[in-house]
Amino acid sequence: MARGRVPGPTGAVGRGGESDPPGPFGLSGAAVSSMWSLGLGRSISVLSNLGSVRHPAPLLLHSDFLGEQLDYDRIYRDIVRWEGAIPYMYLDTHKPPLVTVGAGNMLPDESAAEALPFKNAATGQPATRTEKAHAFRAVAAMKGSLAAKHYRLHPSIELPEAKVKELAINRIKTEFIPQIKKLYPGFDGFPGPAREAILDIAYNAGVGQPEKLVHGKKHKATGLYGFHRLKTAIDAGDWMGAARASHRSSSRPDRNEWARKLFEQAAHLAARRDGPSHNLDFLGAHLKRPVF
């Protein structure tokens, strides 16, 4: 990832208004009253002893229920929001740095660059193979970890926005999701917000590798595999636990907060699916006051 990128459009997240249903998660007013003793009073206000309560709507406006198809357009908008998308070639922050384009699409060699539909930004015409090869070599020879603007050549050859999006979504479908499923075989059945949060962590930190021994030397797990507390929570179906375990030291606070709220929304959806009897166990055994 190159530094100094301008964030893309914001994702469709926000706070809803207030509603007046029978009770959160379908619980009765009596059950809600007892929830105060569980430390849940932050988000619930009992209006009467007849079961009528008023409480905030879910933290995110999200339409994906359990098992539904992922909204790749929204996922791409969130990637651009957090990672940025650069239409020209640049060097990422790997060591050694790699020639990259778009939202982290690595180009292994000149041939990979020549295969993409770059255009000359000055003329609007398709870039020639010579222009593509020259741009690849020029960027590859630069110093890594610079602000993205320093890699823009003059004249610049750039990818159309639609192609940048296509490359990013294709990576999610063919690279990230298959690797994530090796770690989480039940991924397709997770609540939509949880899948999006997991994808964000993988896109940001990499899927990585599990812990392994090489010539008798232990190598720590990397990327998503290194989030041991997160895996323990997800394997247990404890989405509130996953929310607490989703923090990344390398991410900005607002990105961490966003991912945490996605997992919290997954907890809401799972509780709605499993019904009142599961809700009582869920709230009593798993749901703890989030740490803000």
pTM: 0.71
Determine, yes or no, domain membership for 47: no
Determine, yes or no, domain membership for 269: no
Residue 156 lies in domain: 88-160
Determine, yes or no, domain membership for 92: yes
Residue 86: phi and psi, rounded to 5, are -110, 120
Whether 275 has a pLDDT exceeding 70, the answer reads no
Question: 63: which residues sit within 8 A by CB, 6+ positions away?
Answer: 71, 192
Number of domain units in the chain = 1
First to last CA, the chain: 28
Tens-digit pLDDT profile for residues 244-263: 999 999 899 999 999 999 99
Tens-digit pLDDT profile for residues 140-155: 999 998 999 999 999 9
Determine, yes or no, domain membership for 223: no
Determine, yes or no, domain membership for 119: yes
Determine, yes or no, domain membership for 230: no
Tens-digit pLDDT profile for residues 17-50: 333 333 444 444 444 343 333 334 333 333 333 3
Determine, yes or no, domain membership for 117: yes
Determine, yes or no, domain membership for 252: no
